[in-house]
Structure 1
């Protein structure tokens, strides 16, 4: 019987992943004892929180720590690894449920995790700018996955369903975080409050949106939907959880038959995108949409001209 290989020596394990799990050896000698992977990552996260992801470079992080860039490369050998470790640090692991709240309340637990994830995005909005290159196999990612899957453990959903529900909720948190972070950045850049940014945006829309061309949007704007106290973004997670609840009830009542979901190719399926007929049809649609916009613009102008003639005649 042979011994299992030391995790540090796994040849196919990317260094960033190995570092996140504590499975990569640190340099034996460094520029100073104070240098460590942890300090490098903390400095990078602090820099991103203050100045955004674009400010993070190996040189900038080294300067913040008082070292040379080459010193950092002894610990974190590539910027991609640094970004992965920054994501790991900022995301952390979800807090455990409060005592006495476990057992059966899947919705309460799912909503708790959703809100915790949203708070992370608001605290570290640069996380939303990181490229998505698959699911990072890091401890915090696994911890969040395990918590979400655990929320549905006492439901009749199978593991495929639980995973799908997890992805839907996590996606909703990311979308809300993206919108909220965008408004927060616009407010910061303009020296305004988020409410003031919304008011200016509403005023701009009211100036541009014509009632004849866009009657439904104009009616919504005049009703004040863009400056309402109601949190329209919260609608998504509430309705999503309503849908999951209805699906859980259906699975409980009908069993596996409730899980029949038609699997169709995604619109951006590479095989479809490469098909000449699909490209030609898509081009035809774009041209028709462009022509429709031009016709609508012309109609608005004709109506305005007619209104002016009528007004002059009446005068």
Structure 2
């Protein structure tokens, strides 16, 4: 889904109003629900987890697009950097100030970051499934 959203940048902006409104979104939702079927979750819980995963994919693709657009606009020019660097320190954010001064901050939304977030969501779903199994 992340790749599809990146290929079609308008897709993450589609409002979520009720049931999926396009054939591809229907199939995407079916795939997510298929993975959750038989896990012992209620219908509402399965739909909620599917919506969570869909939202993560949409937001990740949207963030990557935002970064690409801002990088293309050269927002990290020397002038902007000189303007922004003192702000975290002036506003009591010494950790962020240190990161920015060492150039440790990276605008990329890398695969490691995406995988980390997705794995935490899946860990949470796994815990929910285990709790439901214990309740039976």
Instruction: Please classify the TM superposition score into its range, dividing by the shorter chain length.
Output: 0.7 to 0.9
Q: Does 1:232 align with 2:127?
A: no
Work out which structure has the larger RCO, using CA pairs closer than 8 Å and 6 or more positions apart in sequence.
2
Relative to structure 1, the CA distance from residue 222 to residue 188 in structure 2 (aligned partners, 3 Å threshold; closer, same or farther) is: closer
SS of residue paired to 1:232: helix
Matches within 5 A, 1:152-163: 152-163=36-47
Question: Per-residue displacement from partner, 1:99-153 (whole Å, max 9, x unpaired)?
Answer: xxxxxxxxxxxxxxxxxx00011111122344x1614433222211111100111
Which structure: larger Rg?
1
Relative to structure 1, the CA distance from residue 253 to residue 177 in structure 2 (aligned partners, 3 Å threshold; closer, same or farther) is: same
Q: Does 1:125 align with 2:9?
A: yes
Question: Per-residue displacement from partner, 1:201-251 (whole Å, max 9, x unpaired)?
Answer: x94543322167122332443565522886434432221111111111121
Q: Does 1:208 align with 2:48?
A: no
Relative to structure 1, the CA distance from residue 137 to residue 232 in structure 2 (aligned partners, 3 Å threshold; closer, same or farther) is: closer
Whether the 8 Å CA contact 1:199–1:226 is kept in 2: the answer is no
Partner of 2:22: 138
- Corresponding residue pairs, total: 131
Alignment partner of 2:63 out of 154, 179, 182: 179
Partner of 1:169: 53
Question: Per-residue displacement from partner, 1:274-314 (whole Å, max 9, x unpaired)?
Answer: xxxxxxxxxxxxxxxxxxxxxxxxxxxxxxxxxxxxxxxxx
**In angstroms, what is the RMSD of aligned CA positions?**
3.0
Structure 2 unaligned regions, length at least 5: none
Partner of 2:97: 218
Normalised by the length of structure 1, the TM-score is: 0.36
Whether the 8 Å CA contact 1:121–1:177 is kept in 2: the answer is yes
Whether the 8 Å CA contact 2:86–2:97 is kept in 1: the answer is no
Question: Per-residue displacement from partner, 1:68-103 (whole Å, max 9, x unpaired)?
Answer: xxxxxxxxxxxxxxxxxxxxxxxxxxxxxxxxxxxx
